Structures are given as C-alpha cells and as structure tokens.
Structure 1
C-alpha cells in the first residue's frame, strides 16, 4: 500500500486531461481483436483467471479474438481507451464521466447488483476498535481504494463533508492524520482489518472481499448517498458493428444458461443498457471537487 499525497493526486488527475498521441487510425483498424481493460478492485491474480474465461467466451460469441488485461488503476484504464490500447473497459461511474469528458468514451452497459442499479460508499472500521463515529477518526489514518473512484474515494470522502468535518476541496489531511490509496477495495479493507489503518472508505460491498473469518471483525459507521453502479464503456471510434456485437454478447450473460459466467466480470446480477443521464450527479460532484471542469 502506498501513500499518495495531494500533490501526487493532482498529478494523477491532470494526467487524464493530457492528450497523448493515439495509435495511428490505420493501425487501429488493422487490429483484428477486441481488447478489454479491467480495474483491480479485487485481487489482480484472481482477475487474471477471470479474464481468460470471459475473453474466451466473448470471442466465441463475437467471432473475433478477445484479449483482456488488468490496468494499474482507473487512470490507466482511461488512458488505455484514449490511446486505443483498449476498446472496452469495466470501471466505476467517476472514471467513466472523466473518460467521457476527456476522450469521448461511451457508456454502453450498466451493472445490476443485488437487484439495484445503484449502491453506496461506506466507512468501515474494526468492530473491536475505539472508533464509533466519524468524529472519532480525526487525526487517524484512513485507506481509500483509488483517487479516481466514486465509491472508493469521492463519495466516502463526501460523507465527511456532509457531516461538517471537512469542506469540499479541502486537503483531507486537515482532518485525517494520514490518507492512503491502497489500489483497490480489497486492499483497503485488508489494511483496515489488519490494523494498518483505522478506517477504509470503500464500496458498501467491500467487506464481502474479506475472508468469512474476517467479515465479522469489521463494521460500517456511515454511508453515502446512492451512486450509479459500475459501467462498461467503449472508446470513441470503436467500430459500431463490433461494439453492437459486444453489447449483445454481454446481455446474453443475463440468460439462465450463461449467468454462471457473471462471476468472471465482478459478479453482478446482470447487465442493462446504460442511461447516460444517470451519471449527471456523479459529474456534478466531480466538478464540485475540482476533478472536472
């Protein structure tokens, strides 16, 4: 787990707005495969196995080779789309609205998880610790998942703003003693459960990434407002026919004979076509924090 200062966070965000020369259009057209970028919200080693399974299935359904990879973080996934190094990416609502603004990427599918198209961010702490309220975290250490994550940073941080403990745009270290970005939900939860930090600001479902023995050892003390579920996005300029085949194949995962494959794409209940308007609230909050213009 690495510490990321506010200056470093600014550099990461700024990197999303820097135009990097994409692959030559002719080269992009010659690539006869579909490339998928995944984010490491859980164990990257597990993801590697999942990617092999879902890529092989998609290749049969679509009729072209499908290759996937795990990016280092959300920002890397956005850059892969910008540079034509990836055609499709699975990511959260915040990196999507940034990718949409900066690169023209399009949301094509949205997750349904536990029967809902929305979820929340939560603040988790150890059950046997002394932390009982948000105010108890003053001067303490907190781990978030990723600086470009709605449920792994933006919305959990905003919980402290809504409770009058921070102001939007204020350096979080004016309240917390230390702020870390762990690289994913699972990593942040494990750091908190192990006592390396006092709290974790992550998705409401992040405790499910702990072992069955660890789960009873943690609890949540605050919850954010609803967040649109994770999305599947396509880069600008992706061949419309190939994009349509991909969407049709992914929607087949909702069918009874295919639902077992959903565990290889972050385990949602299924997918629906994305509604761009559902991300307006995320876009406005990102602007309020200076993450977007």
Structure 2
C-alpha cells in the first residue's frame, strides 16, 4: 500500500522518560530538560528512540529529561522560542535561522563517516529513465522540509547551478508539483513508491529505505558539502546544565556507549559545534531570502 503524500505530514505527540537508578548528583532543575526532535525518519520508531535516549540522559544528568517530535524544523525553532523546548536536534539551516531569530546556541555537530559534514542529493528510481536534472522538468518532486538544507535548499540549488532555474521563485514553474513530505524517509518513500519522480534529501537518506528498495534507487546530482546536523540550545538555558549535557553527549563517542547513537538518528558520534562552520549556510539562507 502506498503512503499518502501531503505537503505537511506526521504530527506526533511527545513522550516522557523515566529517571534511572544511580543518577549523578542532581542539578537544580525545577522542570524537565525538554528535547525537541525533527521527524527525519519513521515517527513511530523515533518515539521509541527518544524514550530510550531520554532515559539514559536522565540517569547520567541526574535530572528528568523529556523528548517530543515536532511537525518540522520550523516547529522546533518555535518550541525553543516559546520555551517549550530547551534543546533541539536539527539541520544547519534551521539552526542559522534560530540563531538569527532567538539567539540559539550551537552545542554539538554530528559526525558521519568520520566527517562533520555531508551533502544533499537528488534521488530517482533506477527504472525511471531519468538521468539528468533536465529530465525532471514538468515532473513532481518531494523535498523533506522547506527550511531543510540537505532536504531542500542545497539540492534545489543544483537546478540553479545547472541553469534550469534562476532561483527558488522559479522552481514551481520548472517542476510539475513540489511536495514537502515532512522528513527524509517520507520524501524517499514517495520517490521509491512512484508517488513522485524524484526526492531531494541527505546523501544518506537512501539508507532509510528498506533493503529491497535501496538497490532500486540512485542519485543524479549532489550538492557541495553542508555542515552536519547540529544540537542547539535556547539562549536562556542554565549554563551549568548546558555544559553537563554537552559533556554527557560526548560520552556517546566512547565504545561502551556508541550503540546508543542509533537512538539519535544514527551518527558516528558528536564533536563540539563550530559556529564559523555555518557561514556558507548563512550565505545560502540570505540568497534564499530567509535571512536579511
């Protein structure tokens, strides 16, 4: 059965975590530390992952930790702005927007294949007959999120680089329809199941398909390097708690804890975030009219 595709999908509810035994000395924290996650993959799986990692963080930090899934990146930024979230896992583009709008602070960057950066790609089915970006004129395409770097702006910029569109404003005229599927996995499934001709997503998004589907898809364009997804905090979060959180998350790089990375979208590990690494993303956001 084919999944239904809409411009906004997959609103899910929050989940709480339980305090584990033998916590570290407790910090002064009147309310739980609230973590916002974006729906890059199947939300049902993500909810289970959140419960598992929140429980571990509660144990290590000695404070209650709760996590919830937002509708999309924009909702995660709003949650930070409103104080409904203290920390969020998100892409580089929504981070630079949150930085400009609310003074969000970058804490950690994901590492994949030994590097704190990755690319965006345009994926198609191998049997589609599509071999170039020009072949997608008049065809439908799914992107992950309108404020995603690897799931929208960077892959879309490849059409501009190829001379097919002059800018974002011309994209609607080039394609048949543009859909925002709500996450990498949803966009990839839409393409793999034939709901759209192509998908714009992270270079690793094909790993979110089933083992049977993965050999059936390929990519036809790849963006320049993009800083990896980042973990950010609202500006008013207690500095001591923020530092303890970073220290605890970096312990996931240790062999004894590495298996827990599967609960956080599956990176190889984390490194402290470098604010200067996002300058090219800031430039991209300005070019797209998202930053002044």
TM-score by length of 1: 0.90
Q: Counterparts of 1:129-278 in structure 2 under 5 Å?
A: 129-278=128-277
Mapped pair 1:3 → 2:2: no
What's the secondary structure of 1:213's corresponding residue? coil
CA contact (8 A) 1:160 1:166 kept: yes
2-structure distance, mates of 1:31, 1:207: 42
Instruction: Give the number of equivalent residue pairs.
Output: 269
Query: For the Cα contact (< 8 Å) 1:37–1:70, is it kept in 2?
Result: yes
Q: Would you say the 8 A contact 1:97–1:279 is kept in 2?
A: yes
Moved over 4 A (4+): none
Partner in structure 1 of residue 280 of structure 2: 281
Answer yes or no: is the 8 Å Cα contact 1:169–1:290 preserved in 2: no
Structure 2: how far apart are the matches of 1:114 and 1:47? 22
CA distance in 2, matches of 1:229, 1:239: 25
Give SS of 1:2's match.
coil
Structure 1: how far apart are the matches of 2:93 and 2:30? 29
The two structures, once aligned, show a CA RMSD in angstroms of 1.1
CA distance in structure 1 between the partners assigned to 2:127 and 2:32 by the alignment:
51
Change (3 A) 1:30 1:249: closer
Between the aligned partners of 2:168 and 2:188, the Cα distance in structure 1 is 25
For residues 115 and 247 of structure 2, what CA distance do their matches in structure 1 show? 21
Please tell me whether the aligned partners of residues 29 and 63 of structure 2 are also in contact (alpha carbons under 8 angstroms).
no
**CA displacement at 1:30 relative to structure 2:** 7.0
Listed as ranges, the gaps of 5+ residues in structure 2 are: 9-27
1:168 deviation in Å? 2.1
Q: Decide whether the 8 Å contact of 1:50 with 1:264 is kept in 2.
A: yes
